């Protein structure tokens, strides 16, 4: 036996080429999804104070932005509709006249199969009270009644040209309700990416500002998951898989790497993670204050989410990563 030490992990760290050869994890650019916010009107490109570098677009401007993004290699687009008119029944969530329907059909007509269009499906941006479901007279979020509205909206999105439906509401049984409705409408090949494991997180703050979707009173704790629970995440994931989900998602991402890793072990469906608005804002504002190198912390966070087991990542960094050739 020769002298100390025989094992020298540093040997494989001596040059960039050796480090790349030995690296276990790589972010895959083609598996990133860029979020977009659509608003009414025309020629609208609105800054969002809580999300530096992210904008709200009217449909005409949205088309231009998606075209630019496509040129830099972004194919996957998740869309949030932010209509002006809201009511108690979330009427604006579906139908040919709805903002999201017009956004989807315009983009699909323009870009065809070059783009993967993923409408987020939830009632919170469409209800006057800002809750993710219909309310009873006593203020309870009604699960099964909400599922019926979501299922109708899913069909409407599929007819408008959605490539994947992404329910983010966290009602029980909504994946099955949506699957059944899609199948009955002849959309049996439209996949569902379920926000299966969505926590009642404080990291959605900047998004709610962007979407004006904060609940007028109360919170989302009666449907989104308790942040203290990890085993329950497995129950949610199994449930969605059994109901016909095609992709499972964990949200937020960075504070829940343990949950991503556990689902990677237990589940066999493709696994996505959403690096949410508060995660993005924390890094973007830290960089603005001179406390972080934006490119480095963005790539490190995306690498960590990948290393934990996420194959698909929804991230507000997608555009910069592509446009500025961060990798
Ligand atoms: C809609 C929805 C939210 C997010 C995605 N879909 C907000 C919420 O649940 O309050 C958050 C995304 C983000 O923070 O980037 N329900």
For the stretch 257-282, pLDDT in tens is 999 999 999 999 999 999 999 999 99
Mean per-residue pLDDT, 311-318? 98
What does the pLDDT read at residue 234? 98
Of 33, 100, 168, the one to substitute when testing ligand 1's pocket (max ligand atoms within 8 A of C-beta) is: 168
Q: Residue 227 and residue 255: Cα distance in Å, rounded? A: 10
Q: What is the pLDDT of residue 1?
A: 57
Q: What is the CATH number of domain 28-323?
A: 3.20.20.70
Mean pLDDT computed over every residue of the chain: 97
Instruction: Grade residue 307 by pLDDT with cuts at 50, 70 and 90.
Output: very high
Which of the four pLDDT bands, split at 50, 70 and 90, describes residue 213? confident
Mean pLDDT calculated for residue range 154-159: 98
Ligand 1 pocket test, candidate residues 118, 149, 204, most atoms within 8 A of CB: 204
Answer yes or no: pTM beyond 0.95.
yes
**CA 117 to ligand 1 center in whole angstroms:** 17
Domain boundaries, given as residue ranges, for the chain: 28-323
Over range 124-148, report the average pLDDT.
95
pLDDT digit string, tens, across residues 62-79:
999 999 999 999 999 999
> 207: CA distance to ligand 1 center in Å?
6
On whether the CB atoms of residues 194 and 168 are closer than 8 A, the answer is no
Strands (E), 173-245: 193-198
* Catalytic residue list: 198, 251
Asked if the model's pLDDT at residue 2 lies above 80, the reply is no
Picking from 227, 295, 286, the residue whose alpha carbon sits closest to that of residue 258 is 227
CB within 6 Å of ligand 1 — which residues? 120, 122, 124, 132, 168, 204, 207-208, 220, 276-277
């Amino acid at each position: 036996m020769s002298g100390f030490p025989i094992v020298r992990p540093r040997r494989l760290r001596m040059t960039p080429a050796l480090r790349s050869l030995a690296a276990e994890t790589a972010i895959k650019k083609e598996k990133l999804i860029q979020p977009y916010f659509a608003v009414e009107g025309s020629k609208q490109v609105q800054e969002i104070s809580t999300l530096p570098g992210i904008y709200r677009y009217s449909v005409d401007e949205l088309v231009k932005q998606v075209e630019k993004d496509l040129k830099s290699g972004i194919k996957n687009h998740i869309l949030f509709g932010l209509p002006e008119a809201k009511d108690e029944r979330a009427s604006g969530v579906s139908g040919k006249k709805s903002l999201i329907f017009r956004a989807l059909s315009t983009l699909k007509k323009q870009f065809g199969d070059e783009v993967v269009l993923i409408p987020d499906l939830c009632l919170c941006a469409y209800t006057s009270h800002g809750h993710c479901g219909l309310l009873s007279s006593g203020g309870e979020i009604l699960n099964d009644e909400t599922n019926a509205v979501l299922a109708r909206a899913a069909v409407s999105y599929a007819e408008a040209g959605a490539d994947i439906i992404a329910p983010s509401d966290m009602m029980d049984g909504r994946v099955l309700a949506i699957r059944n409705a899609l199948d009955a409408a002849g959309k049996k090949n439209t996949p569902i990416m379920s926000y299966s494991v969505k926590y009642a997180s404080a990291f959605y703050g900047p998004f709610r500002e962007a979407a004006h979707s904060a609940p007028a009173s109360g919170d989302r704790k009666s449907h989104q998951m308790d942040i203290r629970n990890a085993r329950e995440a497995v129950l949610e994931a199994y449930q969605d898989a059994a109901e016909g989900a095609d992709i499972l998602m964990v949200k937020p991402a960075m504070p829940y790497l343990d949950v991503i890793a556990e689902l990677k072990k237990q589940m066999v469906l493709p696994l996505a993670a959403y690096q949410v608005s508060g995660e993005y804002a924390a890094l973007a504002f830290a960089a603005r204050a001179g406390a972080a190198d934006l490119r480095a912390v963005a790539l490190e966070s995306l690498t960590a989410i990948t290393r934990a087991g996420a194959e698909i990542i929804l991230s507000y960094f997608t555009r910069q990563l592509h446009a500025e050739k961060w990798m």
